[in-house]
Structures are given as structure tokens and as C-alpha cells.
Structure 1
Amino acid sequence: MKQLLMLSLLGLAVLAGCKREGEPAAPATTTTTTAPATPATAADVPVAVELKDVSESTPDYIIGISYQVPAGQHPALAAELKKFADAARADLIEAAKSRSQPGGATSAPYDLSLSFTELMNTPSVVAVAADGSSYTGGAHGAPLIARFVWLPQQQRLLTARELVRDDKGWAAISGYVREQLHSALSQRVDADDLPAEERAEVVKNASRMIDDGTEPAPTDFALFEPMAAPDGKLGGLRFVFAPYQVGPYSDGTQTVEVPADVLLPFVAPEYRTLFSGG
């Protein structure tokens, strides 16, 4: 197991070293690791959007989509959720078409599993998590992860780029997050009780993945969840990193909680009142 972990991290480190400059580390074609890019407004969407669970099964693909969120309260947000799910479904069906072509896949059917859950619902902030995976061959499915932070009073999504607008702020957030991830990495490696030379190599390669996946820019911190404070405001943000962004697939989705007192000096003025102490 120890040798397998080391080989896995070495292989992934090579892939991470080939990533583009200034863009997220995760594979753009298979993994959704950014929040919805275009904020919606009430004028852009229908008055009401029906969020119906989806269950489809054919010889080529299986699709299951679950909406564990109320749709009627925020129709513009519901439209964003449905748009994300529809795009994931369309991508899987398009990929499945190749199965029936000469030389196409002959293994198990392709599979899409996606669930939407409500994380917070207050007069100021509503948050929804989308988590799932899309399998189109290979050893395992590609993660499907998104976070939707909705501002009901403004009828639009809040993005990382709007929340923190200067390089100094992202440098501070990046530094804090990296420190937490490196600490967690050290604890995991210590638990494996590796020989000193092997441990150093594993830490070196895994640390490179952390640094590559947390560059001081909003693109690497696009996924975030609000953390509730006792006063009903936000006590901070939980940044979410999909598999491959800051570690190997076996580490799964990783998160780092950044408290409000770290964030507030860098939050855009119009959003500071959302946070406790702002």
C-alpha cells in the first residue's frame, strides 16, 4: 500500500507539472471545479423552474439526478441548478453515443450520478452544493462538483472573483489555505509511518500538487461554501477542492475553512456586512 501510494503521487505529480500557467489544476474536460461563471438575474430566467428528479436507464448509459432543494422560493437559482444538471446529462449522452460506433466501448454502461443539497437558507444567503460523478470509461468516474452561493436580495450568484478583487487578498487566502493543506498532508503521511527517504519524496510531490492547485487567483478558489455564525451571519467560508486539484484521486474532495477574521480585510466592501464582525 505504501509503495502504491508513492507511485500514485509520483504519477500525478508529473501530470500536475504539465498544467497550464494561471489555470486550475484539475482536468477541464472531465471535472467541474468552478462555480457557475455567469451570474443570473431575475430578467434572465423564467418565473418558475421545475426541478424534477431524473432517472434514465438504457443499454449505453444510466443517469440519476436528485434535487434535494426547494425550487419555488428562488426560481432564478433553480434555473442555474437545472442548467448545470442539463449540461452534465447532455455531455454524458454525447459520450455514450460512441459506444455503439465501430471500436466503441463494450464495458459497463456509462453512468451519471448527481445530487443537489441545500447548505444554507437565510434572507441574505442561500447556498446549494452539487456533488456527483460521471463515468465514461477508465478506472473511475470524473468528479462533478459545483457550489452555488445565491444572494436573494440582489437576485444573483456570488463568485470568488467578486468577493475578493485584489491580488493581495488572494495571496493572503492562498497562504492560509496552503498552510492548512500542508499540515493535513503531514499528518496523513506520518500516520503511514514511511521510511524517512520515502516520506520526503511523497511529501515533496504532494506538496507540489497543493501549491499548483492553490495559486493566488480566484480561479483556484471558485468553489466555496458559507459557514454559519451564531449571530446568523457568515462565520467564514469553506473552500472546496475537487480530486486532483490539491492531491491524488484517492484523497477525494478536500476542504479548508477560512474564518471571517482572515477574510474580512480583503472582502469587497459591499459584501462585508454578510460576515460576522463586518
Structure 2
Amino acid sequence: MPGGNDAAPPVATAPAPSPTPSPAARPSRTALKTDNYSFEYSYPAEAAAIPPLARWLAGRRAALQAELDKDTAAFRKEAEVGGFDFRPYDSTTSWQVVTDTPRLLSLSAEIYVYSGGAHGSPGFDALVWDKAAGRRLAPTELFVSSEAIQRAVGTAFCAEIDRLRQQRRGVPVVRSNDAFNNCPDVAEATLILGSTNRQKIDRIGLLVGPYVAGPYAEGTFEVTLPVTKALIGAAKPYYRDEFAVR
């Protein structure tokens, strides 16, 4: 056709399939104990199979250990000068696969830190690797804003937090200005993305650390919610197809 373009239109390519760990892509685990601290850091084979993600995780591991070296050396010197007992520190970070869809690898980490006080502190972290874009994201970055997530799941999140608090306390929760009886914002939790079919994100987790929804003795709270149309609407347009209502 005169003036036309006989070339076939570009064909949209699907995201690269989930990497199958090769024999070289093994889970990574570092564990060591010194006079000053115990240190553990691990991540799964699925993450090790993605070189830039593995480099980032290894960099985090090195930074945490360097900080531990520095802090414990300073604390030991402080103990010697002050004449009190030195208590070895503890740092544990364990990354695990939450789900692995055709486009997104979702990881969460359980963290435990002890730095010489009355007790240690558990915590959480999370990330998503976008295979199509080749980049690491915080799970919240798949959404328009934290406020949009709050509007979409805030009510369900609060109801589940209250159910868990009542279960642990043995009495109904009466909302008040006391932080332990009020409902925390969703942004105070660690968001993780999950799937029941490894194809689409159809559920989310909200992991809440100590002192956010209750006293230390009540521990952490883990809330799982199904993906809804409202939550999909809160996602950035180019990620909405990665979600499905459950």
C-alpha cells in the first residue's frame, strides 16, 4: 500500500517467566558468632537466581554486619569504662518467598534485633522484584499512595486487628486515645503481596510489629486480607493487571 508500513505491528511480549533456580542459584545463608554478637542473614534461591537482586541483598547483609561490628565494639568499650556487663548483640534477617507470579517475585523478611537491652525486637521487611522492568520495589510502590491503600483496606484491617487483640486479651477492644486500643494506620504495618495461584496477586498481608497495636507482651500481629476491587483501584494503572479479586 503506497505510503503505508508493511511491517507487522509490534507484538506485546509477556513478562519473563519466573526464573528456575539453576544449580548455581542456591539459597544463601550466613551465620556467624563472635564474642560481640551473633549474626544470621539468609535469602532464598529464587532471589539468588536474579543477579541484581542477589547483589542488593548481599549488600544489605554486608552493611548490617558492618554496623553490628561498629556498634558492638563501641558498646563493649562503654561497658568496660562504665563497669557494667557487656551483653552480646543479636541480628537475624530471614528472607522468604511470599509468592512468585509470572511478573512479580514477592519476598518478606522476619527480623530480630537485640542490642543489649531488656529484650530483643522482632520486625519485618518486604520487597517486590518486577521481572518485566528488572527493578526492585517496595510493595507500596505498586499503589498510587499510602492514603489510597488506607481507604481501600483500612476498615477491614482495623476489624481484624481488633479481632486478634480481643483473642489475646480475652475481652472486647474498646477504642480510646490509648494507642494500644486505637487502630493503627495501614502505613504502620509492613505490606506484603501474596497469591493463592501464583498467577495474580489476590491477597495481601499486613505485618505489625510490637508496640504498634499492643504492648510488647502481645507480640506481633499478622493480618491477611483478600484483594478487592477497591484495592485494585488503588494500584497504579500499569500494575492493576497483576491483581485479581479473590
Q: What's the TM-score once normalised by structure 1's chain length?
A: 0.67
For the pair 1:127 / 2:103, whether they are aligned, the reply is no
**Alpha-carbon separation, structure 1, partners of 2:83 and 2:103:** 49
Aligned to 2:92: 113
The one-character-per-residue Cα deviations of 1:74-124 (angstroms, maximum 9, x if unpaired) are 122222322332332223222211213412752432222222222222321
Say which of 146, 149, 158 aligns to 2:128. Answer: 149
Asked if the contact 2:27/2:44 (under 8 Å) is kept, the reply is no
Q: In structure 2, do the counterparts of structure 1 residues 132 and 159 end up closer, same or farther at CA, with 3 Å as the change threshold?
A: closer
Deviation at 1:50, TM superposition (A): 9.5
Aligned to 1:239: 206
For the pair 1:69 / 2:45, whether they are aligned, the reply is yes
**Alpha-carbon separation, structure 2, partners of 1:147 and 1:172:** 20
Deviation at 1:146, TM superposition (A): 0.9
Aligned to 2:155: 175
Deviation at 1:139, TM superposition (A): 1.7
**Alpha-carbon separation, structure 1, partners of 2:129 and 2:157:** 24
Say which of 35, 44, 61 aligns to 1:85. Answer: 61
| Count of aligned pairs | 218
Deviation at 1:169, TM superposition (A): 4.3
- Unaligned ranges ≥5, structure 1: 1-47, 191-198
Aligned to 2:17: none
Say which of 247, 250, 267 aligns to 2:217. Answer: 250
Asked if the contact 2:76/2:86 (under 8 Å) is kept, the reply is no
Deviation at 1:72, TM superposition (A): 4.2
**Alpha-carbon separation, structure 2, partners of 1:184 and 1:272:** 30
For the pair 1:140 / 2:119, whether they are aligned, the reply is yes
- SS at 1:256's partner residue? strand
Larger Rg: 2
Deviation at 1:137, TM superposition (A): 0.9
Letter in 2 for 1:126: L
Q: CA RMSD in A?
A: 3.1
For the pair 1:266 / 2:234, whether they are aligned, the reply is yes
- SS at 2:40's partner residue? strand
**Greater fraction of residues in helix:** 1
Aligned-residue identity in percent: 26
**Alpha-carbon separation, structure 1, partners of 2:26 and 2:59:** 12
**Alpha-carbon separation, structure 2, partners of 1:251 and 1:92:** 28
For the pair 1:60 / 2:36, whether they are aligned, the reply is yes
**Alpha-carbon separation, structure 2, partners of 1:171 and 1:78:** 34
**Alpha-carbon separation, structure 1, partners of 2:120 and 2:159:** 29
Asked if the contact 1:123/1:153 (under 8 Å) is kept, the reply is no
For the pair 1:164 / 2:131, whether they are aligned, the reply is no
Aligned to 1:208: 179
**Alpha-carbon separation, structure 2, partners of 1:249 and 1:164:** 31
Deviation at 1:177, TM superposition (A): 0.8
Q: In structure 2, do the counterparts of structure 1 residues 91 and 247 end up closer, same or farther at CA, with 3 Å as the change threshold?
A: farther
**Alpha-carbon separation, structure 2, partners of 1:169 and 1:204:** 22
Asked if the contact 1:99/1:105 (under 8 Å) is kept, the reply is no
Deviation at 1:260, TM superposition (A): 1.4
- SS at 1:224's partner residue? strand
Asked if the contact 1:117/1:128 (under 8 Å) is kept, the reply is yes
